[in-house]
Amino acid sequence: MGPSHFSLLLILAGCWEALGAEHYSNSPVCNTTLSNGSFPWTHYRLPTSVVPEHYYIYIHPDLNTKTVTGYVQILIEALNDTSYIVLNGKNLTITGAFLKELSPNYQRKRLALHVLESVPTEQLAFISEIPLVAGRKYQLSVRFCATLSNSFSGVYRASYWTKNGISRMIAATHFEPTSARKAFPCFDEPNMKAVFSVVIVRDYNRKAISNMPKVSTRTRGDGLLEDHFCHSVRMSSYLVAFVVNDFSSNSTKSKTGTEVSIFAPRDQINQTRYALQAAVKILEFFEEYFQIPYPLPKIDLVAIPDFEAGAMENWGLITYRETSLLYDPHTSSPHSKLWVTLVTAHELAHQAKFENPYKSICSTLQKSYIV
């Protein structure tokens, strides 16, 4: 398959408009809310007084209880003096929120925060009794829980049937354009980019994949496993992704050493050969044509049984509708083969990084930021 067979398909970035808020609902999120408090922010867009630098996300999508529990620690910098931090959250129950300054000689313990929610604007406000000071960095720690979604956004359940008639369930994510806030509290606007470090809790009979390669797996006291992943490149929150699954996979490497893998239900893994071959050729073509190296050590392409879009260009973990990735040479039509090729070319075209090359692939989040 030569370069002339490929078309570069790009999506124009959507424009974010600043909208004025007319009415707010100041419903409390948890017991630490301010009594008689009013939501401190009056715009749909987030304030820029505080910006994120690095997220540490610990999350457990429990397919047995159909719940999501976890916590997120966000390294933030205050650009202006402020007594509150506003970020996005939707359909989350906040069970604890704390703030800690990260100045070298600062000995103050974690400060419990008051929490308010604005339901119409999908925002959470964390109120501090001690104001944040411009130029200083802080660690915002938030514990949360939610219900595993039945929709096709946020962290949701997807199911399929084996050839033996057994129902299987996986947990998948789809965060574009504004659904990362359904999975964990975050600054869910595309210009507020940050680095993401992800830890996923799972059962022993499933596996987890995310944007970056897995560093290690640890066994918890309750028998569940924790998969720790390399930290990501700096990216928007809607590109974070993970899938907890029992799939099989096929893998190979490109000329430049990038590991390319296709994940699909075990009974359909024989339908991934064409997509794997096409993905490697397309990736190599883009790197040569644009003279831009693919910045990550791996790229996974995953066939999701229940998926609303054709595919989604999560960095390092592209999720697909099954008909956009699977091809059976004995039963599929030529049009299906062309469609798999075009969708794969389209999604891989999103993967280029126009900043400095990614370095220190598996560096971990600075220990001083994790408590």
Inside any domain, residue 357: no
Same domain, 60 and 143: yes
8 A C-beta contact, residue 22 and residue 120: no
**Do residues 229 and 274 both lie within one domain?**
no
**Residue 26 domain-assigned?**
no
pLDDT of 326 reads: 97
- Residue 352: its pLDDT value, please? 77
Same domain, 299 and 215: no
- Read off the pLDDT of each residue in 82-87 and give the average, rounded to a whole number: 97
Q: Which residue has the higher pLDDT, 366 or 128?
A: 128
H helices of the chain, in order, are 273-290, 334-349
Domain that holds residue 319: 247-349
Q: In 10 A of CB 146, how many CB atoms?
A: 21
Query: Do 252 and 127 fall into the same domain?
Result: no
- Is there a single domain that holds both residue 102 and residue 193? yes
> Where residue 110 falls among pLDDT bands split at 50, 70, 90?
confident
Alpha-carbon span 197 to 296, nearest angstrom: 14
Residue 104 pLDDT level (bands cut at 50, 70, 90)? confident
Report pLDDT digits (tens) over 10-37. Answer: 222 222 222 222 233 333 343 333 334 6
- Shared domain check, 196 and 330: no
Spatial contact of 173 and 196, defined as CB atoms under 8 Å apart? no
- What is d(CA 84, CA 286) in angstroms, rounded to the nearest whole number? 45
Is 266 in the same domain as 335?
A: yes
Is the model more confident about 76 or about 362?
A: 76
Same domain, 205 and 279: no
- Report which of residues 326 and 309 the model is more confident about: 326
The number of residues making up the chain comes to 371
The per-residue pLDDT for 254 is: 96
Lowest mean pLDDT among 97-106, 141-150, 247-256: 97-106
Can you tell me whether residue 284 is helix, strand or coil? helix
Q: How far apart are CA 66 and CA 243, in angstroms?
A: 15
pLDDT of 268 reads: 96
Averaged pLDDT for residues 168-180: 97
**Phi and psi dihedrals of 181, rounded to 5?**
-65, -15
CATH number of the domain encompassing residue 179:
2.60.40.1730
Same domain, residue pair 149 and 54 = yes
* Residues carrying an active site annotation: 347
Q: Which of 224, 243, 262 is the last residue of a domain?
A: 243
Domain boundary among 243, 265, 283: 243
Question: Count of domains in the chain?
Answer: 2
pLDDT in tens, 185-224: 999 999 999 999 999 999 999 999 999 999 999 999 999 9
What integer best gives the mean pLDDT of the chain? Answer: 87
- pLDDT tens-digit series, residues 248-274: 999 999 999 999 999 999 999 999 999
pLDDT at 7: 31
Quote the strand ranges of the chain, DSSP E. 50-62, 67-78, 82-88, 93-101, 111-112, 114-118, 123-132, 137-147, 154-161, 167-174, 195-202, 207-210, 214-219, 225-229, 242-245, 248-253, 259-264, 298-304, 311-312, 317-321
Q: How far apart are CA 63 and CA 43, in angstroms?
A: 36
Could you tell me the pTM of the whole model?
0.85
User: How many beta carbons lie within 10 A of that of residue 128, not counting itself?
Assistant: 18
Strand partners for 300: 261, 317
Instruction: Examine residue 303 and state whether it is found in any structural domain, yes or no.
Output: yes
**Strand-pair partners of 113:** none
**Does residue 331 lie within any of the structural domains?**
yes
CB 236 within 8 A of CB 193: yes
Residues 257, 205 share a domain: no
State how far the Cα of 153 lies from the Cα of 147, in Å rounded to an integer.
12
Residue 262 and residue 195 share a domain: no
Residue 334: strand, helix, or coil: helix
On the question of pLDDT at 56 being above 90, the answer is yes
Residue 105, pLDDT score: 66
Is the distance from CB of 118 to CB of 164 less than 8 angstroms? Answer: no
Report pLDDT for 272. Answer: 97
Provide the CB-side half-sphere exposure for 147 (13 A, CA). 4
Write down the pLDDT at residue 357: 44
State mean pLDDT over 35-41.
75
Instruction: Please compute the mean of the pLDDT values over residues 78-96 and round it to a whole number.
Output: 97
d(CA 92, CA 124): 10
Residue 41, CA distances (Å) to 23, 150, 228 in order? 11, 31, 35
Question: Residue 209: is it exposed, middle or buried by C-beta count within 10 angstroms (0-12/13-18/19+)?
Answer: buried
Report pLDDT for 107: 59
16 occurs within a structural domain: no
Domain edge (last residue) among 190, 214, 243: 243
